[in-house]
Structure 1
Amino acid sequence: MVNALLYAPNNRIVELMKQPAQLRDVDWMQEAAQQAVLLELATLPPYLCGLWSIDTSTGDGSVFDTLREIVFDEMSHLGLACNLLTTIGGTPVLADETVVPRYPGPLPGGVRPELSVFLSGLTKDAVDMYSRIEEPDHPLVRAVAEHTSIGAFYTALLDAFRAHPERITGTRQLTMLMPQHGEGNDVVPLDTLAAVESAIDVIKEQGEGTSASPDNPHPGEAGERAHYYAFREIFHERKLQKNPDTGKFEFTGAPIPMPDAKRMTVVPEGGWPRTGPSAPDAETIQTLDESNQAFSDLLRALEKPWRAGDASQAEELLSAAVGQMFFLQDPAQRLMDRPIPGAGGKTYGPEFRYVAP
């Protein structure tokens, strides 16, 4: 196993992409795939905070449904990234304080170095941040400066697989079928180059769309946008539609009202203080600790399936890990219901910090 210390927040993805193709050996591929695992993990806490903050008793529910589908997409992407790593002989590292993303902070590996990813309830600023995480190199709706995107990184990883298909061993591959969430959301074995190509296409295109369309080519329901465009629609509060005169996509379609949401404020660097005059009350601290424990238990549970030698045991462990996810929501929402003294009605929220056993 590659040393987990290599995956502390750094510019490792940028450095990996600078290496010439002829130097991208199996160690390079394993390290790149581990970084892919961490990228997929990094998107879940901010998206979950936005999702769980939405008041589902009001509004039409469209924004909640969109965020929920994106979260399920990202969970399947995490599983596919783990399969990418194990099929070339690596082992996913998730439950380690040196690799778990910290908020606010950068994405793993130096992707979008100008972006600080934070945890808060659903706001315009949060939705704008979500879209910048998913932004393709050449979006259909605006020009952007040159950057290292998630999609460009996956393309580099795919190029290495295509150059060396003999490195695909098909070891420790897990399956989880999720037909209720769309054709692209199944976690499937990656034991051939065609399967690897399909998995990376799903991850890229669900996030970024294609060069011709903002639609998700692997939707749960017809008409779903790729993540970047779905977030931009929420931000602009309008559906995208194609201008028949110019052929360009514009935010001039049906309204998408921002839903009411709990006023979870941005979690401060290092999390909420546990001592001192600004520390929360004892009950809030207990709930914060409960939330972090649930998150840490989940990460440990997610590591186990891809480490198991027996296939049937691995499937059982994966099912158990999925069940562990349901323990995250309750303490998170209880924190969002706890006002911060003197903060004008703003509330606490989950920190998603790793706690060693």
Structure 2
Amino acid sequence: MLSIRQNIIDQLLKGCSLEELKKAANTAVELELSTIPPYLTGLFSVMPGSNQRAAALVQSIVTEEMLHMTLAANLLIAIGGNPDIVAIGRSLSYPTPLPDKIDDDLQVGLAALTKRQLKNVFMAIERPETKPGEILPGEDVPQPTPVVPGEFGSIGQFYKALLTALTIADASNPELFANPRLEQQLDISKWFPPVRTAPAEGKIRNLDDAALAINTIVAQGEGIQTGSGSHANEEGLYQEGRSRKAHLNESILPRHHQGGKKVVSTNEIHPGDGDGSYAHYFKFGEIFHGRELMPDLEAVSGWSYNGAPVQLDESQIYNFLPNAAVSDYIPGSAASIAAQRFYDAYQMLLTSLDQVFNGKPAAMDKALGLMYQLKLQAHQVAQCPVGGNASNLVAAPPFMLTH
């Protein structure tokens, strides 16, 4: 589970200036973007035609991280800011804690899609915050989230604090969302699969839209909180100022029917994301455990990975050079040339996304083309062996110029 410095959360809960609100929204953009290179590296390591179900799950998570970055950027635009996507992208370096707000305990590296990477990095990033007695599917005993008073809080807490700060600011400043610059915000309905829990078109017009966007980010990442005081099952509560009824997929609710008997999980967290799918932690869990997640009356959590197989054949995964940078490859070599082409395509992608969120949302069409090009370039990089004839290590697509 990612953690964020508690003083940032505390400041938001007290209320803060407009500039501090913009900084917090920019932090959200930075956080969502920073997860994409690790996940793309895992996705690009899957050899063409293999591990298709696992690859599809990772691809769906990458798409949702892009959605989350978009929602955070739209929020920032709505309150008068714009993110510098190029600067954020170039500032990322791996292995590292995710942006400097994040707890040092979790070192995020770029590596191939293996069970080790799934467990130690991907599932660690997305792990929901759990309380004493709660147990997640796939766990034998409860593993409550460690509490370090005064030091770190969870990313979910950060987003809730951001919403609290927006609520305080909106109450004291009715002009907060007076000029949301809708023409600069990206219309998610044109570029992403339907998202029932998000505000209309993914655009932030008011505080209610901000609540919907934040709820979507948290629910898709960590899963829906079902405890007292939580409103995640109401899918954001409001849309355009009107109460909105929940339309959750019954197959992902913690309450399910078996043999005419209604069963209720004792956990406050369940796998659903509110949009008919599972949250990221549980999608990664399906790959790690090799089975689809299913309701299970015998399991403490109410769920277990006992469904259809989800194959991860590691013999069909490229053995990537970990945490690759362009500078890792011998200048003039095939690996260096391919790596530089990949890095150049990545820089063009960052530039296009920067244009998208700085007044030219139509540039998303070019950005999508560059994302496809990035995949092709990654495959070219993976054809280059490194480390000598005795090693099956291959070049990895670099998201960094140097370490």
Measured against the shorter chain, the TM-score band is: 0.7 to 0.9
Q: Which residue number corresponds to residue 180 of structure 2?
A: 170
Q: How many angstroms apart in 1 are the aligned matches of 2:365 and 2:28?
A: 22
Is the Cα–Cα contact under 8 Å of residues 39 and 62 in structure 2 kept in the other structure?
yes
Amino acid at match of 1:199: A
Alignment of 1:226-305 (within 5 A): 226-245=279-298, 247-254=300-307, 255-259=309-313, 260-267=316-323, 272-274=327-329, 279=330, 282-305=333-356
- Aligned residues, how many? 330
Q: CA deviation at 1:239?
A: 3.0
Is the Cα–Cα contact under 8 Å of residues 334 and 384 in structure 2 kept in the other structure?
no
Q: Which residue number corresponds to residue 126 of structure 2?
A: 134
The normalised TM-score by structure 1 is 0.83
Q: CA deviation at 1:42?
A: 0.7
Provide the aligned C-alpha RMSD in A: 2.6
3-state DSSP class of the match of 1:241? Answer: strand
Q: CA deviation at 1:32?
A: 0.7
The normalised TM-score by structure 2 is 0.75
* Closer/same/farther in 2, CA of residues 109 and 152 from structure 1, 3 Å limit: farther
Q: Percent identity?
A: 27
* Closer/same/farther in 2, CA of residues 64 and 350 from structure 1, 3 Å limit: same
Q: How many angstroms apart in 2 are the aligned matches of 1:73 and 1:12?
A: 21
Instruction: Report the more deviating stretch, 116-125 or 237-246.
Output: 237-246
Q: How many angstroms apart in 2 are the aligned matches of 1:164 and 1:97?
A: 26
Is the Cα–Cα contact under 8 Å of residues 31 and 99 in structure 2 kept in the other structure?
yes
Q: How many angstroms apart in 2 are the aligned matches of 1:180 and 1:318?
A: 11
Q: CA deviation at 1:99?
A: 5.8
1:307 to 2:358 alignment: yes
Q: How many angstroms apart in 2 are the aligned matches of 1:39 and 1:101?
A: 10
Q: How many angstroms apart in 1 are the aligned matches of 2:12 and 2:83?
A: 25
Alignment of 1:101-112 (within 5 A): 101-112=92-103
Q: How many angstroms apart in 2 are the aligned matches of 1:249 and 1:339?
A: 45
Amino acid at match of 1:26: L
Q: Which residue number corresponds to residue 392 of structure 2?
A: 345
Match of residue 381, structure 2, among 323, 335, 351: 335
Is the Cα–Cα contact under 8 Å of residues 4 and 154 in structure 2 kept in the other structure?
no
3-state DSSP class of the match of 1:239? Answer: strand
List gaps (5 residues or longer) in structure 1: 1-10, 309-313
* Closer/same/farther in 2, CA of residues 319 and 23 from structure 1, 3 Å limit: same
1:79 to 2:91 alignment: no
Q: In the TM superposition, what whole-angstrom CA distance separates every residue of 1:251-272 from its partner, at most 9, and x where no partner exists?
A: 341232213312213125x654
Q: Which residue number corresponds to residue 32 of structure 1?
A: 24
Q: How many angstroms apart in 2 are the aligned matches of 1:208 and 1:140?
A: 14
Q: How many angstroms apart in 1 are the aligned matches of 2:13 and 2:192?
A: 39
Is the Cα–Cα contact under 8 Å of residues 37 and 110 in structure 2 kept in the other structure?
yes
List gaps (5 residues or longer) in structure 2: 137-142, 226-268
Q: Which residue number corresponds to residue 221 of structure 2?
A: 207
Q: How many angstroms apart in 1 are the aligned matches of 2:92 and 2:401?
A: 9
